[in-house]
């Protein structure tokens, strides 16, 4: 067996995504080592409560409430706690210590992205966040790398799985808004604070991240027009159906040009989509993102937009890339 260099990995958070990431790191050890060229040693998992029930059973000796000590000396820090603080402080501490950071925290990036990327640049560390937008769907790397030579004109699509689930249940099963929302709650689809999903904040955070990447400029939450689905009624859904349409919560990021002046518009709102449009066929918790680039033309990205193990796939991809970077850097 090949002897691989060891990299110390710290995981912050063991919620639905974090626990799946820990499980994959532990059970796919050899495969991950072969692919990344490094043995990814999970040094510990920082949690608020070591006794809390988890989606996946994790070795108790890895759980700690002391995130600060865990971060010290780590090569890669995976932040999956969500929210702004203490996630922001931990990410900055990790970067300052020279660790590469992998995060799925869209709220953090949409509000403190500039500060975090500056901190990373100063020490030559990386911040990867494929899991922050559209969960399992590879969309960050295509925008950052694959389309880096093209000019993106427009991105639009469905980037919030729980509201899509609710609207879909109302449309296809005739549920009321309240019934559909209750079902989404029972299935654990909504964020801990459901207004993040229902009022479009989650989609707006993702739109800000996508627009910043696509248009090579800083788009903050203040730049995003946001409207959620809380005013969408069963009557509206029924009216849309009769008109051959379906209501979807859309995120739209586009370059606009007027009188030779270019501006960027980013907006999230419930929109009517014709039933023959591919977005009308995005059901349940799935997401779909269309990218229109000058040379590439239209591209479509589709798949699971939420879910613990699905999102963990995107996190692991970033971890392997960060490990390869470490190995290449010596
Ligand atoms: N609350 C989010 C959604 C989870 O419903 O899409 C995935 O980011």
Tell me how far the alpha carbon of residue 191 lies from the centroid of ligand 1, in angstroms: 7
Gyration radius of the chain's alpha carbons = 20
Q: What angle do CA 77, 80, 86 make, to 5 degrees?
A: 85
What strands, in cross-sheet order, belong to the sheet with 100-103?
63-64, 38-46, 5-12, 76-79, 100-103, 127-128
Dist CA 237 CA 177 (whole Å): 10
Across the range 192-207, mean pLDDT stands at: 96
pLDDT at 191 (0 to 100): 86
pLDDT tens by residue, 234-259: 999 999 999 999 999 999 999 998 99
For this structure, is 206 an active site residue? Answer: yes
Dist CA 121 CA 43 (whole Å): 25
pLDDT at 164 (0 to 100): 97
pLDDT tens by residue, 262-302: 999 999 999 999 999 999 999 999 999 999 999 999 999 99
Q: Which atom of ligand 1 is nearest to the CA of 134?
A: 8
Q: What is the pTM of this model?
A: 0.95
Q: Contact at 8 Å (CB) between 236 and 190?
A: no
Q: Which atom of ligand 1 is nearest to the CA of 196?
A: 1
Q: How many CA atoms lie within 13 A of 246 on its CB side?
A: 24
Q: Which atom of ligand 1 is nearest to the CA of 306?
A: 7
pLDDT tens by residue, 21-67: 999 999 999 999 999 999 999 999 999 999 999 989 999 999 999 99
Q: Contact at 8 Å (CB) between 161 and 300?
A: no
**Atom 7 of ligand 1, nearest CA residue:** 306
Enumerate residues lining ligand 1, CB below 6 A.
135, 160-162, 191, 197, 202, 305-306
- Point out the catalytic residue in the list 6, 106, 169, 206: 206
Q: Which atom of ligand 1 is nearest to the CA of 190?
A: 1
Mutate to test the pocket of ligand 1, among 20, 139, 160 (most ligand atoms within 8 A of CB): 160
Tell me how far the alpha carbon of residue 265 lies from the centroid of ligand 1, in angstroms: 22
Tell me how far the alpha carbon of residue 36 lies from the centroid of ligand 1, in angstroms: 29
Tell me how far the alpha carbon of residue 121 lies from the centroid of ligand 1, in angstroms: 29
Q: Which atom of ligand 1 is nearest to the CA of 106?
A: 8
Torsion over CA: 278, 17, 141, 41 (sign): negative
Dist CA 14 CA 64 (whole Å): 11
**Atom 4 of ligand 1, nearest CA residue:** 306
Mutate to test the pocket of ligand 1, among 304, 305, 308, 310 (most ligand atoms within 8 A of CB): 305
Tell me how far the alpha carbon of residue 97 lies from the centroid of ligand 1, in angstroms: 31
1 pLDDT band, cuts 50/70/90, is low
Q: How many CA atoms lie within 13 A of 94 on its CB side?
A: 30
Q: What is the mean pLDDT of the chain?
A: 96
Tell me how far the alpha carbon of residue 311 lies from the centroid of ligand 1, in angstroms: 10
**Atom 8 of ligand 1, nearest CA residue:** 306
SS3 196: helix
């Amino acid at each position: 067996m090949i002897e691989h260099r060891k990299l110390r990995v710290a995981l912050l958070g063991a919620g639905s995504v974090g626990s799946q990431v820990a499980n994959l790191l532990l059970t796919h050890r050899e495969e991950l080592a072969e692919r990344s060229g490094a043995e990814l040693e999970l040094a510990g998992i920082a949690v608020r409560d070591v006794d809390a029930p988890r989606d996946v059973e994790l070795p108790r000796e890895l759980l700690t409430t002391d995130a600060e000590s865990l971060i010290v000396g780590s090569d890669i820090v995976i932040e999956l706690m969500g929210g702004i603080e203490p996630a922001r402080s931990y990410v900055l501490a990790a970067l300052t210590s020279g660790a590469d950071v992998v995060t799925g925290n869209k709220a953090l990036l949409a509000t403190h992205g500039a500060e975090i990327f500056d901190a990373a640049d100063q020490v030559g560390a990386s911040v990867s966040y494929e899991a922050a937008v559209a969960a399992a769907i590879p969309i960050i790397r295509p925008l950052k790398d694959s389309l880096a030579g093209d000019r993106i004109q427009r991105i639009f699509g469905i980037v919030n799985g729980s509201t899509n689930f609710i609207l879909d249940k109302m449309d296809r099963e005739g549920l009321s808004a309240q019934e559909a929302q209750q079902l989404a709650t029972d299935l654990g689809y909504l964020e801990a604070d459901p207004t993040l999903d229902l009022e479009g904040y989650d989609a707006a955070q993702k739109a800000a991240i996508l627009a910043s990447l696509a248009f090579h400029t800083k788009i903050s939450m203040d730049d995003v027009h946001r409207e959620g689905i809380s005013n969408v009624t069963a009557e509206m859904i029924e009216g849309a159906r009769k008109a051959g349409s379906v209501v979807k919560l859309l995120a739209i990021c586009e370059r606009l040009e007027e009188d030779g002046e270019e501006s960027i518009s980013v907006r999230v709102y419930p929109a009517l989509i014709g039933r023959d449009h591919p977005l009308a066929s995005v059901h349940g918790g799935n997401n779909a993102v269309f990218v229109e680039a000058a040379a590439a033309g239209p591209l479509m990205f589709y798949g699971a937009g939420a879910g613990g193990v699905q999102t963990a796939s995107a996190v692991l991809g970033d971890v392997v890339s960060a490990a390869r970077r470490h190995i290449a850097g010596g």
